[in-house]
Structure 1
């Protein structure tokens, strides 16, 4: 009987490890889980989020980028809603592309800029 109980416990442990591994999540930036947002020009929230991305980046880094527009946007859900924005911003006379990633959790009243990085050279 004692051996049988050990066998059951071992089986449960192996199954739980297996399901944890199978159900593991991929990274936040994994492309195949992002869903494009269409008609971004008609989405005021996306444009405001793009403008706020540049404002927040400037505040944190003491930069003086100027927001131009959101070029592309996508969203995904994973313990909140992530927004990935590809946007144009001017750094002096040069216009460059940046990627901004936001995490939004309304139930926690949270909206956080998690990443803001340049993604190409000058346009």
Structure 2
């Protein structure tokens, strides 16, 4: 039993050392420059890009179907993306609601390679 416990401890220690060495190697290769945090949110540089606009229209259509409303997409004000097993988009969208302009925050999960898109959240801001 002591041999197994020692073996497990040695394995955990080796994994810890390997993780630290890998992290240091990644930092060295990046030249000390800060980049996006893996799994973190990154600002979308061009919220008017056709792909962003297409994704922004999706929550408006989905909300209209679910809530029986008639929101009309106007523009993307700003957005962020997060790479996961696909991409999460957090967008602030301008939409018209019966003549009144409102802002909404929508989070959309997108996996374009298998044509999957899901509205995660939608709220007026």
1:85 pairs with 58, 75, 91, which one?
A: 91
Mapped pair 1:51 → 2:57: yes
Displacement of 1:40 after TM fit? 2.2
Give RMSD over aligned pairs: 2.5
Rounded Cα–Cα distance in structure 2 between residues aligned with 1:104 and 1:15: 37
Displacement of 1:10 after TM fit? 6.2
Judged with a 3 Å threshold, the aligned counterparts in structure 2 of structure 1 residues 13 and 110 are, in CA distance, closer, same or farther, namely same
Please show how residues 33-48 of structure 1 align to structure 2 within 5 Å: 33-41=40-48, 43-48=49-54
TM-score by length of 2: 0.68
5+ residue gaps, structure 1, are 20-31
Task: State the number of aligned residues.
Answer: 103
Alignment partner, residue 117 of structure 2: 111
Alignment partner, residue 77 of structure 2: 71
SS in 1 for 2:69: coil
Displacement of 1:57 after TM fit? 0.9
Mapped pair 1:101 → 2:107: yes
SS in 1 for 2:103: strand
Alignment partner, residue 66 of structure 2: 60
Displacement of 1:52 after TM fit? 2.5
Alignment partner, residue 7 of structure 2: 8
Rounded Cα–Cα distance in structure 2 between residues aligned with 1:107 and 1:64: 30
- Out of 47-56 and 64-73, give the one that drifted further: 47-56
TM-score by length of 1: 0.68
